[in-house]
């Protein structure tokens, strides 16, 4: 288990220029697919038009599938400290379902993101699915732990839904509270314009193998 995870931390030696080129190529593709996911939900096109659109999509799948990788993307890094977890379900640059775009870090260690949650993230009518809020919090709290120098796996995530979260603009933030041995305690919340909707505490635990590799994981200042 541990070994299989480490195998997915790959130094692929890409130059910064090549990473930028890939971002410019695949970032817009992800954006297009994200819009497509929403259109699949919202289109009123009739059966003929849907059939026509599906033919185009089949053609696109054929082109994109010609040369492809198998399996998970993992975490890839290069010599200049840039790392890519572009498949990450919450924040991956190449993952069209990942809701988090840009992540910010303040000088006081607060990590935050402003996100637009469209209708594909619906749970209760017109409101954000509770699992999506937990996804955002798991990621942002984990990033706050990592960026404060205490990366770890989520051991426990405690989520309290204080009020419903409307679809639309939300703000997510987190901050390291304290560290006890291999455990980092992080607190955070999801808020709408009216205030906090969901609050969370996470315990992020650095497994022994991660502590041994800590330099590689902690000194990762430039996630893509």
Ligand X SMILES: CCCCCCCCCC(=O)SCCNC(=O)CCNC(=O)[C@H](O)C(C)(C)COP(=O)(O)OP(=O)(O)OC[C@H]1O[C@@H](n2cnc3c(N)ncnc32)[C@H](O)[C@@H]1OP(=O)(O)O
Nearer to ligand X, 75 or 165 (CB): 75
Residues 141-160 close enough to bind ligand X by CB under 6 A: 142, 146, 151, 153-156
Torsion angles phi and psi, residue 67, rounded to 5 = -135, 105
| Number of shown-chain residues binding ligand X (CB under 6 A) | 16
Nearer to ligand X, 85 or 167 (CB): 85
Q: How far is the CB of 72 from ligand X (least distance, A)?
A: 13
Q: Is 207 in the site for ligand X (CB under 6 A)?
A: yes
Is residue 91 within 8 A of residue 85, CB to CB? The reply is yes
Q: Which one of 82, 117, 205, 224 is in contact with ligand X (CB under 6 A)?
A: 205
Nearer to ligand X, 59 or 153 (CB): 153
Residue 131 CB contacts under 8 Å (≥ 6 apart), including other chains: 123
DSSP type of residue 187: E
Q: How far is the CB of 63 from ligand X (least distance, A)?
A: 32
Residue 115 CB contacts under 8 Å (≥ 6 apart), including other chains: 99, 100, 101, 136, 169, 170, 171, 172
Nearer to ligand X, 27 or 207 (CB): 207
H helices within the chain, ranges in order? 2-7, 16-42, 47-65, 130-147, 208-212, 214-218
Nearer to ligand X, 164 or 220 (CB): 220
Query: Given the rule CB under 6 A, which residues bind ligand X?
Result: 138-139, 142, 146, 151, 153-156, 181-183, 203, 205, 207, 217
């Amino acid at each position: 288990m541990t070994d299989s995870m480490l195998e997915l931390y790959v130094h692929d030696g890409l130059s910064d220029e090549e990473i930028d080129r890939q971002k410019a190529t695949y970032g817009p593709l992800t954006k297009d697919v994200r819009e497509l996911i929403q259109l699949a939900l919202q289109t009123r096109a009739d059966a003929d038009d849907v059939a026509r659109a599906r033919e185009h999509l089949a053609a696109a799948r054929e082109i994109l599938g010609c040369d492809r990788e198998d399996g998970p993307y993992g975490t890839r890094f290069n010599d200049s400290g840039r790392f890519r977890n572009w498949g990450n379900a919450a924040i991956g640059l190449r993952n069209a379902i990942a809701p988090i775009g840009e992540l910010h870090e303040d000088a006081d260690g607060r990590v935050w993101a402003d996100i637009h949650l469209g209708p594909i993230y619906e749970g209760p009518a017109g409101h954000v699915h509770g699992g999506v809020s937990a996804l955002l919090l798991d990621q942002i709290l984990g990033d706050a732990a990592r960026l404060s120098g205490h990366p770890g796996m989520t051991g426990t995530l405690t989520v309290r839904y204080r009020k419903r979260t409307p679809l639309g603009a939300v703000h997510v933030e987190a901050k390291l509270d304290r560290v006890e041995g291999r455990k980092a305690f992080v607190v955070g919340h999801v808020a709408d314009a009216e205030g906090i909707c969901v609050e969370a505490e996470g315990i992020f635990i650095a497994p022994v193998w991660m502590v041994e590799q800590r330099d590689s994981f902690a000194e990762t200042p430039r996630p893509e």
